[in-house]
Amino acid sequence: MEKFIVEGGRPLYGHIDIQSAKNAVLPLLAASVLTEEAVIIHKCPRISDVVGMTGILEELGCAVRWEGGDLYIDSSAAANHEIPAALAKELRSSVFMLGSVIARFGRARIAYPGGCDIGLRPIDLHLSGLRRLGVEISEDGGYIDCACPRPQGAEVLLDCPSVGATENLILASARAEGTTVIRNAAREPEIVDLQNFINRMGGRVKGAGGATVVVEGVRKLHGAEFTPMPDRIEAGTFLIAAAMCGGKLALTNVQPAHLDALLHKLREISCKIGAEGDKIYIECAGRRLSPKLVETSPYPGFPTDLQAPMTALACICEGATVVVENLFETRFKHVPELIRMGADITVRGRAALIRGVRSLQGADVIAGDLRGGAALTLAAVSAEGESTVTDLRFIDRGYSGFEYKLRAAGARIRRVRV
């Protein structure tokens, strides 16, 4: 096990280059088996979720190799349609493989997916949508078995705009017979990236980014090269870091429009923000005013993945903040740890009331999930005194070189083995 040792209380200054988006790359890796030809993902982040996904691709028989920051996937020899529990349990995104493996092989067998424990995270919408496409699904002993020689285009109305279900249905229908219409689709920008990648492979997907996605099935897809979109959650995490620590940061490789909900909040609490092309500048001095109300909702609302960092920021703002988590049931695991650092937080169900304190105090805390772990690291970097953040496995799922980037901006943080 590894931990961060952090000496907090220093402002952040400098430039941070943002990685490609984890949540875009994972479905792209699933999409790579839709074609028998090679694909190249440029600027692919080397985070453990990506490494886990490459393990699944290898299990299917794909040849995977890194060349610098680029990932090459050749699935011409892929023949296996089964993803064992040991791999699926490591990674929630293994569920995307259902759609693409069915599309490629006409069947799939996958253990129930794992991932961060932030709530129930059911996959009922994925399964009912696949059934609409004609996929026969049975479940036994923790495995989901799917069979369908070729999915058939259909109308699917999602009960709620699930990102994963939207992506899985796009993957399953990319090579289907006929046209699939997904209504009440999630509108996250990562879905647009998936659409663009499939279209670069010769697919016919349109409407992503809106509530209706239309997929015209094609018989075959070919190889392609693609550079995924910037990681809006990583960018948001560093913006919140600057708001907590003070200082001045320039972020490159960002799409400011993807961060509207956060930028709006940060401006409200008097951070100076500038955006130009693919850059965002943030400058903060003194104590921030509280953001008052932060309520997570599907894109373009405030992202649930930035709720934990935003909660950490609210802890040291002037005044009280209510944070409402509308997407996941148990996404407040960082709260008891923040309280150990001196935060004043009361949680009732999906809402947290945070009364701002002047500063947090260094403490030994434990990361319980990916974004919660990032939030605790920011808390430690801003706190007075020394902290340790233990169990970096979660943080490594989504941030490549997290501590290097913070250190380059002036934070005192190092990684040690426990």
Coil/strand/helix, residue 202? coil
State how far the Cα of 315 lies from the Cα of 311, in Å rounded to an integer.
Answer: 6
Count of residues binding ligand UD1 (CB under 6 A)?
Answer: 23
| Least distance CB 77 / ligand UD1 (angstroms) | 27
CB 307, min distance to ligand UD1, A? 9
Q: Which of 62, 116, 245, 315 is catalytic?
A: 116
CA dist 392 and 369 (Å) reads 9
- Shortest approach of ligand UD1 to residue 146 CB, angstroms? 15
Q: Is the separation of the CB atoms in 293 and 333 below 8 Å? A: no
Collapsed DSSP state (helix, strand, coil) of residue 192: helix
Q: How far apart are CB 293 and ligand UD1 at their closest, in Å?
A: 19
Kindly state the DSSP code that residue 371 receives in the 8-state scheme: H
Residue 168 has phi, psi (to 5 degrees) of -60, -40
Nearer to ligand UD1, 305 or 403 (CB): 305
Minimum CB separation from ligand UD1 for residue 359, in Å?
29
- Please give the full DSSP string across 212-256, using - where no structure is assigned: EEEEE--S----EEE-PPB-HHHHHHHHHHHHHH-EEEEEES--G
Query: Cα(370)–Cα(118) distance, rounded to whole angstroms?
Result: 10
Q: How far is the CB of 119 from ligand UD1 (least distance, A)?
A: 6
Name the CA dihedral angle for 101, 188, 190, 281, rounded to a multiple of 10 degrees. -160
Fill in the per-residue mask, 108 to 147: x = in contact with ligand UD1 (CB under 6 A), - = not in contact: -----------xxxxxxxx---------------------
| CB of 240 or CB of 341, closer to ligand UD1 | 240
Residue labelled with tokens 């001045």: 248
- For the bound state, the minimum distance from the C-beta of residue 82 to ligand UD1, rounded and expressed in Å, comes to 22
Residues numbered 25-44 forming contacts with ligand UD1, rule: CB under 6 A: 26
CB of 223 to ligand UD1, least distance (A): 24
Q: Using DSSP, state whether 361 is helix, strand or coil.
A: strand
Q: How far is CA 261 from CA 54, 222, 236, 264, 298, in A?
A: 32, 37, 10, 5, 11
Strands, sheet with 179-183, edge to edge from the N-terminal-most edge strand: 155-157, 179-183, 212-216, 204-206
Residues between 89 and 108 with contacts to ligand UD1, criterion CB under 6 A: 92-93
The rounded distance, in Å, linking the Cα atoms of 289 and 141 is 52
Q: Which is nearer to ligand UD1, 156 or 411 (CB)?
A: 156
Nearer to ligand UD1, 60 or 163 (CB): 163
What track of x and - describes contact with ligand UD1 for positions 174 through 193 (by CB under 6 A)? ------------x---x---
Closer CB to ligand UD1, 92 or 288, in the complex:
92
Centre a 10 Å sphere on the Cβ of residue 322 and count the other Cβ atoms it contains.
15
Q: Which is nearer to ligand UD1, 119 or 274 (CB)?
A: 119
Q: How do strand 364-366 and strand 386-390 relate by DSSP bridges? A: parallel
Query: H or E segment at 380?
Result: helix 370-382
State yes or no: is 271 an active-site residue: no
| Residues in 147-176 that interact with ligand UD1 by CB under 6 A | 160, 162-165
What mask, x for binding ligand UD1 by CB under 6 A, covers residues 291 to 320?
A: -------------xx---------------
Q: Which residue is nearest to ligand UD1 (CB)?
A: 164
Residue placing its CB nearer to ligand UD1 in the complex, 125 or 284: 125
Distance set, CA 72 to CA 35, 43, 258, 289 (Å): 13, 11, 27, 47
Q: Which is nearer to ligand UD1, 115 or 207 (by Cβ)?
A: 115
| Max CA pair span of the chain | 62
| Residues engaged in binding ligand UD1 (CB under 6 A) | 23, 26, 92-93, 119-126, 160, 162-165, 186, 190, 304-305, 327-328
Active-site residue set: 116
